[in-house]
A and B are shown apart, each in its own frame.
Chain A
Amino acid sequence: MKYLRKIHRMFKLHRIFIKQDLKKLMEYKIDFLTGAIGMLLTQAINIFFISVIFARIPSLDGYSFEQIIFVYGFSLLPKAIDHLFFDNLWAIGYFIIRKGDFDKYLTRPVSTLFAVTVEKFQVDAFGELVVGILLLGYSIPRITVSISVLNVILFFVSIFFATFIYTGVKLITSSISFWTKQSGHIIYMFYMINDFAKYPTTIYNRAVKAVITYIVPFAFTAFFPASYFITGGNAWYNIGGTVVMSAVLMAVGIFVWNKGVSAYESAGS
C-alpha cells in the first residue's frame, strides 16, 4: 500500500511537470515546429538512402527492404520514448553540474533522479515516434509477422526494456559529471553507438558485433528483438537478452548515480 501511494504520487507529480513543459512549448511554437520537422526530415532522408540502395540490389545480406524498414522503425520507438522522458540527463552532463544548479534537486522531497528526469518533457521526440510508428505500419503487413496475443505482449515488453537500455547508457555516462563536472561529450560518444542498431548486426565485423552486443548493448534495442518478430525464433535470447541487459544497465546506472550524488560538490559562488 505504501509503495502504491508512492507511485501514485510520482505519477501525479509527473503530470504537473508535463503540463508546465507544454505551456513552455506554446510560447516557442515555431522552434518546436522547425525542430520536429527537422527530426522528421532526418529520418525521411535516411529512408530515402535505404531505398536508393535497394533500387540496385534485391536483398541486403539476406534481408528484404521491408524487413530492413521494420528493424529501422523498431529502433526508433525506444529511442523516442527515452528522448521524450529522460532528455534532462543530457543537461546534467553538459551544464547542470558544472554551474552548480544540481543543488536545487537535493532540496526536493523526492529522489534526485526522479526530480531531474521529471523536469523536462522533450516533445521533439514526437518526430521520431511518429516516423517509427509509420514505418512499422508500412512494413508489418508486408513481412511475415505472426500477430498473436503473446507477440503483442512481447512487443510492448521489448520496447519498454529497450527504452531503459538507452536511459541506462545515458545515466551511467551523465553520472561521470559528478566527478568531472562535465560529461556531455562522453554521453554523446556512447549515445551515437545506437545508430549501429538500425541495421542487421550481421553486416558488421566481429569486433563491432561484440561491442554492440555486450559492452554498449544497443543491438538489444532494435535488431535482436526485431529479428524475433521477423523469424519467430530464439525468443529467450532476443527478448530475454533485452530484459537482462536493460536491468543490468539500469542497476549499474542507479548505483553510479547514487555514488555520484554523494560525491557532488557544488560550484562555489
Chain B
Amino acid sequence: MRRIFKIYKPFTHAGLLLAAQYRANFFFFIFGDILRCFINYFLWHAVFSSGGEKTFAGFSETDMVVYIFISFLTSIIAYSDGSYAVGEEIRDGSIAMRMIKPIRFDFAFLFQELGERIITVSLIFVPMMLGVEVYKFAVTGAVCFNIVNFILYVISLILAYLITFYFNVCYGYSAFILKNLWGANFLKDCIVGFLSGGVIPLAFLPSAVAAVLNILPFASLTYIPVMMYVGMFDVPTIVFSFALQIFWLVFFIILQQVIWNACVKRMSVQGG
C-alpha cells in the first residue's frame, strides 16, 4: 500500500497543480450550476405552499431542500472526467505512452483525479455543508447536525466516487470501437444524471420503476449517499445500500480489467 502511494504520488501532485491553476474558472462554473439548485429550491417551495400536504413521498420541505443541495454537492465531488480523458488518449494515440511505462493505467488516472479532487473538496465542500446546516437551523430553530449520518454520507460518497470513476473508464474504452465525441458524452451525462436521482429523488417515481432503479448502479452514484445524509434510510436499508455500492464497485473494477486486457491485445495506434 505504502509503495503504491509512493509510486503514484507525482500524479496526485500534477492533478493538484492543474486544478489550482483553474480554480477561478471553477468558481464561475460552480456558480452557474448552483443557480439550478436555487431554481429547484423556489420551485419546491411553491409546490409545498400550494399543495396543502406537509410531505411528499416522505419528504418534508426541509428534507427536499437538503436533498437538492446535497445531491448537487455529491454530483460535483463524485464527478469523473475518466470517460473523456480515456477517450481522448485513445483517439490521439497518447495511450501508447502509458502502456510502455511500468505503471497501472487506471491508477495513474485515479491518482491524478485525486489531486484535482482535493482542490474541489476544499473549495466547495465546507461552504455548502455549512450553508445547508445553517438553513436547517434557520428553519427548525435547532441544531440538527447528525454526526452519524455525516460519517455514513462521507463513506458512501467515497464509494460513489470510485464507482463513477471505474464506470467512466469503462465507458471511455468504448472509444476503442466507437468514436466518442462530444455528443456521446453529453447523452451519457444526461441519462446518468436522471437515473442516479440527480433530477428528482427516486422515491418520487412509480414504485415499480423506483425498485428497478434502486438496484441499478446509478442509484449508488448520487441517490444512496444523499439519502444517508438526509437520514431517511433505516438500518437494514443502510447495510443493504453499502453492500450494493461495494458490489458495483467490484463489478466495474473487474469489468475495467477485462476490457483493458482485451483491448491491449487488439490495439493499433496511428502515428505516435
- Cβ contacts under 8 Å, B42 to chain A: 199, 203-205, 208
| B28 with A59: CB separation less than 8 A | no
Answer whether residue A264 sits at the interface, using C-beta atoms and an 8 A cutoff.
no
- Cβ contacts under 8 Å, A30 to chain B: 178-179, 181, 183
Shortest Cβ distance from A55 into B: residue? B204
Answer whether residue B92 sits at the interface, using C-beta atoms and an 8 A cutoff.
no
Answer whether residue B251 sits at the interface, using C-beta atoms and an 8 A cutoff.
no
Shortest Cβ distance from B44 into A: residue? A53
B residues 141-167 near A (Cβ < 8 Å) are none
Whole-angstrom CA separation of A41 from B193 in the bound complex: 11
Interface string of A206-248 (1 = CB under 8 A from B): 0010000000000000000000000000000000000000000
- Cβ contacts under 8 Å, A32 to chain B: 183
Whole-angstrom CA separation of A188 from B50 in the bound complex: 33
- Cβ contacts under 8 Å, A58 to chain B: 50
Whole-angstrom CA separation of A186 from B46 in the bound complex: 30
- Cβ contacts under 8 Å, A186 to chain B: 28
Whole-angstrom CA separation of A58 from B53 in the bound complex: 12
- Other-chain contact of B50, A33, A41, A60 (Cβ < 8 Å): A60
Interface residues of B: mostly helix, strand, loop or mixed? helix
Q: How far is the CB of A108 from chain B (nearest CB, A)?
A: 28
Answer whether residue A57 sits at the interface, using C-beta atoms and an 8 A cutoff.
yes
Answer whether residue A38 sits at the interface, using C-beta atoms and an 8 A cutoff.
yes
Q: How far is the CB of B76 from chain A (nearest CB, A)?
A: 15
Specify which of A38, A49, A196 lies most central, judged by the most chain B CB atoms within 10 Å of its CB: A38
Tally inter-chain residue pairs, CB-CB below 8 A.
100
- Cβ contacts under 8 Å, B191 to chain A: 41
| A203 with B46: CB separation less than 8 A | yes
Shortest Cβ distance from B193 into A: residue? A45
| B33 with A192: CB separation less than 8 A | yes
Interface string of B184-211 (1 = CB under 8 A from A): 1011001101100001100011000000
Interface residues of A: mostly helix, strand, loop or mixed? helix
| B39 with A195: CB separation less than 8 A | yes
Whole-angstrom CA separation of A62 from B50 in the bound complex: 8
B residues 12-37 near A (Cβ < 8 Å) are 24-25, 28-29, 31-33, 35-36
Answer whether residue B51 sits at the interface, using C-beta atoms and an 8 A cutoff.
yes
- Cβ contacts under 8 Å, B39 to chain A: 195-196, 198-199
Interface string of A8-21 (1 = CB under 8 A from B): 00000000000000
- Cβ contacts under 8 Å, A155 to chain B: none
Interface string of A34-61 (1 = CB under 8 A from B): 1111100110011001001100111111
- Other-chain contact of B183, A31, A49, A60, A61 (Cβ < 8 Å): A31
Answer whether residue B103 sits at the interface, using C-beta atoms and an 8 A cutoff.
no
Shortest Cβ distance from A46 into B: residue? B199
Whole-angstrom CA separation of A193 from B28 in the bound complex: 12
Shortest Cβ distance from A190 into B: residue? B32
Shortest Cβ distance from A184 into B: residue? B25
Specify which of B36, B51, B179 lies most central, judged by the most chain A CB atoms within 10 Å of its CB: B51
Whole-angstrom CA separation of A185 from B187 in the bound complex: 22
| B29 with A61: CB separation less than 8 A | no
- Cβ contacts under 8 Å, A90 to chain B: none
Residue contacts A-B, CB under 8 angstroms, 17 given: A31-B179, A31-B181, A37-B187, A49-B199, A57-B52, A58-B50, A59-B50, A60-B50, A61-B50, A185-B32, A188-B28, A188-B32, A192-B33, A195-B39, A199-B43, A203-B46, A208-B42
**Chain A residues engaging chain B, CB cutoff 8 angstroms:** 28, 30-38, 41-42, 45-46, 49, 52-53, 56-62, 184-186, 188-193, 195-196, 198-199, 203-205, 208
Given A34-B186, A61-B49, 7 other A-B residues pairs in contact with their CB atoms under 8 A: A35-B183, A38-B183, A52-B200, A53-B47, A185-B29, A189-B28, A189-B29
Across the A-B interface, give the 5 residue pairs with the lowest CB-CB distance, nearest first: A34-B183, A35-B183, A185-B28, A192-B32, A38-B187
